[in-house]
């Protein structure tokens, strides 16, 4: 479980450095909101990672094994790419920033493929709830360091120094790949690349069939849409409301971290009691309601109490929802094809985060902040509406070997 905590940290650290933290940097450099919102497209590699995931199922690096070898390679490359991103200057043009950010996202998506596959391979079905909670704890902790502590560091030093510090943290994660245990019953890799590409899709549809399978895939795309829209614009909103980088970073890094820890552990405990299916209902509803806190802040303006409430409610509900959603995705995968199948499923999740949320900046400009946050609450509802298709509240049996 300690390895999963550190693995979650390694997986989460690069994400905000190419999204929310980068957007904060651009906001301080007076880049317009439309361009900042469009930068969510930098995260497209997370949506497309299923295209090269079969390579990680098929080929085994010469050191550390199939999963840990790919982890070490990607972690070292991410550290170098973060250094390259940190030396860019948004005031002199966004092209270099975009290229470096896309490179970080591409390598981070590759790390995610290996990390998700490792987690799926190493956990037994009974351990998935607790394992998901521990992984999410590390993941959300990294998000708070990259999105909270990084802002404080940028206020005290400079953005290049801040990104260099993040690169050093990322390089240290290579030690995790060396020390992490191997799965006790590692699966044989597919015999050929064509088998690695085709069989994971065939296996998924054979187990869940077209109707239920398509409902599951649509749910994965839509479940976190409202939350993704808020996450895409939260930092520009807080900074434009009048809070300093240090104020936002301090609240995110201390109180937000505590809220995330409590949310993740609470999510794991509730999940073990009510099951994965019902947790999706409960956590999804709370996730949608958490956006009301930002709506209140948009109404009242600069107010420290309202900001603390908004950040803590978001982090607590985010910890809940991510724990349940991660356990759900893991439960859908066949261990033999875990890299490709989990990459496909999490790529669909990234569609809402990176593609559907790209117009968020333009929507905020058109609707104003109160109208925008009201829209995000409505955007959370279509995903919940799909749950009766494959996880009705009253039904004890869920797809395949999911347990209620």
Query: How much of the chain is helix, strand and coil, in % rounded to 5?
Result: 85, 0, 15
- Statement: residue 112 has pLDDT above 60: yes
Q: What is the pLDDT of residue 184?
A: 60
Residue pLDDT, tens place only, 192-243: 666 666 777 777 778 877 778 888 888 988 888 888 888 878 888 998 899 9
Contact 42, 102 (CB under 8 A): yes
Res 187 pLDDT > 60: no
Average pLDDT, the chain: 83
Superfamily of segment(s) 2-183+191-390: MFS general substrate transporter like domains (1.20.1250.20)
Say how far apart CA 284 and CA 294 lie, in whole Å.
Answer: 17
CA nearest to 153, candidates 138, 139, 168: 168
Give the number of other Cβ atoms within 10 Å of residue 211's Cβ: 10
Q: What is the model's pTM?
A: 0.68
**Domain coordinates in residue numbering, the chain:** 2-183+191-390
User: How many helices (H) does the chain have, and how many strands (E)?
Assistant: 20, 0
């Amino acid at each position: 479980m300690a390895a999963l905590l550190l693995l979650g940290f390694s997986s989460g650290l690069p994400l905000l450095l190419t999204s929310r933290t980068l957007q904060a940097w651009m906001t301080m450099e007076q880049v317009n909101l439309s361009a900042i919102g469009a930068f969510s497209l930098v995260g497209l590699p997370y949506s497309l990672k299923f295209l090269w995931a079969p390579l990680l199922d098929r080929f085994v690096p010469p050191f550390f094994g199939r999963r840990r070898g790919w982890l070490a390679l990607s972690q070292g490359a991410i550290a170098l790419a973060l250094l390259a991103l940190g030396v860019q200057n948004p005031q002199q043009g966004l092209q270099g920033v975009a290229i470096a950010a896309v490179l970080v996202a591409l390598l981070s998506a590759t790390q995610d493929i290996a990390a998700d596959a490792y987690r799926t391979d190493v956990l037994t079905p009974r351990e998935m709830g607790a394992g998901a909670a521990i992984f999410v704890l590390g993941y959300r902790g990294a998000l708070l360091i990259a999105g909270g502590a990084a802002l404080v560091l940028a206020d005290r030093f400079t953005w290049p120094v801040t990104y260099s510090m993040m690169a050093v943290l990322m390089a240290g994660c290579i030690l995790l790949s060396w020390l992490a245990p191997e799965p006790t019953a590692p699966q044989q890799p597919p015999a050929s690349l064509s088998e690695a590409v085709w069989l994971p899709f065939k296996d998924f549809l054979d187990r869940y069939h077209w109707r239920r399978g398509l409902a599951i895939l649509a749910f994965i795309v839509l479940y976190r849409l409202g939350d993704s829209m808020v996450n895409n614009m939260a930092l520009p909103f807080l900074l434009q409301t009048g809070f300093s980088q240090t104020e936002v970073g301090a609240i995110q890094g201390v109180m937000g971290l505590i809220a995330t820890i409590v949310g993740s552990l609470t999510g794991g405990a509730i999940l073990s009691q009510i099951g994965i299916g019902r947790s999706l209902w409960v956590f999804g509803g709370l996730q949608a309601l958490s956006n009301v806190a930002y709506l209140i802040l948009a109404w009242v303006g600069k107010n420290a109490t309202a900001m603390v409430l908004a950040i803590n409610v978001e982090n607590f509900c985010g910890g809940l929802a991510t724990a349940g959603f991660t356990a759900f995705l893991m439960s859908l995968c066949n261990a033999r094809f875990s890299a490709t199948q989990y990459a496909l499923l999490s790529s669909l999740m990234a569609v809402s985060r990176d593609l559907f949320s790209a117009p968020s900046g333009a929507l905020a400009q058109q609707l104003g902040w109160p109208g925008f946050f009201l829209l995000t609450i409505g955007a959370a509802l279509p995903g919940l509406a799909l749950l009766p298709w494959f996880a009705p509240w009253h039904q004890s049996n869920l797809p395949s070997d999911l347990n209620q």
